[in-house]
């Protein structure tokens, strides 16, 4: 769900002439964050348990959606 929101925001925010470059930069950053997220996720699961980790991820997803919603309203 976050990827759909993020992709729409990126496509709406940038000119089509630079969209390929922006997508490449975004893809590189996201791919670099995968090992960091896996490491931190493992620490959270070991410390607080799987249920808490899933609940935290859900809260982060909702917060991200609200953040993008307000950005969308501001740019309209």
**What is the span of the domain harbouring residue 34?**
19-75
Which helix (H) or strand (E) segment holds residue 13: the answer is helix 2-13
Query: Could you tell me if residue 49 is left (phi over 0), alpha (psi between -120 and 50 degrees) or otherwise beta?
Result: left
Task: Please check whether residue 10 lies inside any domain of the structure.
Answer: no
Is 24 a domain residue? yes
Provide the domain count of the chain.
1
> Each residue of 1-55: pLDDT tens digit?
457 877 888 888 889 899 999 989 988 998 999 999 899 999 999 999 999 999 9
9 found inside a domain: no
CA pair distance 12, 4, nearest whole angstrom:
12
Contact, 62 vs 3, CB < 8 A?
no
Task: Work out the pLDDT band at 76, boundaries 50, 70, 90.
Answer: confident
Whether residue 1 lies inside any domain: the answer is no
54 within a domain of the structure (yes/no): yes
Beta strands in the chain (DSSP E): none
């Amino acid at each position: 769900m976050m990827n759909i929101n993020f992709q729409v925001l990126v496509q709406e925010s940038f000119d089509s002439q630079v969209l390929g470059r922006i997508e490449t930069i975004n893809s590189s950053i996201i791919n670099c964050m995968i090992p960091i997220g896996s490491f931190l996720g493992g620490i959270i699961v070991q410390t607080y348990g799987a249920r808490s980790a899933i609940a935290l991820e859900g809260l982060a997803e909702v917060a991200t959606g609200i953040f993008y919603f307000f950005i969308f309203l501001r740019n309209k």
